[in-house]
């Protein structure tokens, strides 16, 4: 199951979104009980969705994911990383961070000012972000939802071939999605 697919539908997955815009996507409110049977899916993937709902709703979503996964099923969650924003504010910036600030300023900062402060403020306000996770909080949320064997991966990488190359890296310039994302996989016992 793919939660919050937008227009990035994945072949062989049940694609879902709150506001489906294409015909092969079902409507799903990730903050409510999923209208799906228990123990139905082997895999769940969600990219840049959980940060758009309240923390308690994110826990509810993860618990619903656990409910509909079969035993030993796997979940993969990609979301903006709070550490990315903290690092973006540091005095010493990598070339990639500098490029990101310029790109984000040019594309999204309305007043034309290019600075880490403007980009960070824009990031947490403009796209409906409600709760930005760090690794320890997302990891704990997965644990509270019954998941085990939690592992961090880079975008598009996984030890499980079914969970590789799922993120929509083409929606941003090269390297930027990896820079801003936290990706965890976990297993339902």
Is residue 30 situated within a structural domain? Answer: yes
Is residue 116 situated within a structural domain? Answer: no
Is residue 11 situated within a structural domain? Answer: yes
Rounded CA gap, 126 and 150, in Å? 30
Q: Which domain holds residue 164?
A: 2-81+129-187
Q: Write the CATH number for 173.
A: 3.40.50.150
Is residue 117 situated within a structural domain? Answer: no
Is residue 167 situated within a structural domain? Answer: yes
- Is the per-residue pLDDT at 112 higher than 80? no
What is the pTM for the complete model shown?
0.95
Q: Dihedral, CA atoms, 147, 150, 154, 155, nearest 10 degrees?
A: -10
Question: What pLDDT, in 10s, does the model give residues 120-141?
Answer: 999 998 889 999 999 999 999 9
């Amino acid at each position: 199951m793919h939660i919050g697919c937008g227009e990035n539908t994945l072949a062989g997955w049940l694609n879902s979104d709150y506001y489906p815009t294409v015909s092969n996507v079902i409507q799903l409110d990730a903050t409510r009980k999923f209208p799906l049977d228990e123990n139905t899916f082997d895999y769940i993937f969600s990219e840049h969705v959980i940060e758009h709902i309240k923390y308690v709703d994110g826990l509810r979503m993860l618990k619903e994911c656990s409910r509909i996964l079969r035993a030993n099923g796997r979940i993969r969650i990609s979301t903006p990383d709070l550490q990315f924003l903290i690092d973006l504010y540091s005095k010493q910036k990598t070339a990639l961070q500098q490029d990101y600030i310029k790109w984000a300023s040019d594309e999204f900062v309305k007043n034309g000012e290019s600075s880490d402060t403007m980009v960070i403020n824009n990031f947490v306000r403009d796209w409906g972000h409600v709760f930005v996770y760090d690794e320890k909080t997302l990891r704990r949320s997965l644990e509270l939802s019954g998941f085990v064997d939690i592992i961090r991966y880079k975008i598009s990488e996984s030890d499980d071939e079914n969970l590789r190359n799922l993120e929509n890296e083409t929606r941003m310039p090269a390297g930027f999605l990896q820079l801003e994302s936290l990706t965890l996989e976990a297993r339902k016992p």
